[in-house]
Amino acid sequence: MPTIHLVIGPVGAGKSTFVRSLTDRGHAIPLVLDDWMTTLYGDDERPADGRMAWYMARTQRCLDQIWKTTEAVLATGVDVVLEVGLIQRAARQSFYGRVDAGACELVVHVVDADRDRRRKRVMRRNESRGPTYSMHVSAEIFELASDLWQPPGADEQADRDVRFVL
Structural domain including 136 reads 3-165
Cα–Cα distances in Å, from 92 out to 21, 30, 118, 160?
A: 23, 18, 22, 11
19 within 8 A of 82, measured Cβ to Cβ = no
Report the DSSP pairing between strands 105-111 and 3-8: parallel
State whether the Cα torsion 17-97-57-75 is positive or negative: positive
Q: What is the CATH number of the domain that holds 37?
A: 3.40.50.300
Where residue 143 falls among pLDDT bands split at 50, 70, 90? very high
27 within 8 A of 157, measured Cβ to Cβ = no
Q: Which residue has the higher pLDDT, 81 or 103?
A: 81
Cα–Cα distances in Å, from 44 out to 32, 96, 97, 134, 140?
A: 19, 31, 32, 15, 21
Domain total of the chain: 1
- State pTM to two decimals: 0.89
**Interatomic CA distance for residues 22 and 165, integer angstroms:** 12
Task: Report pLDDT for 43.
Answer: 73
Report, as an integer, the average pLDDT of 122-127: 90
Where residue 66 falls among pLDDT bands split at 50, 70, 90? very high
Q: Is residue 52's pLDDT more than 80? A: no
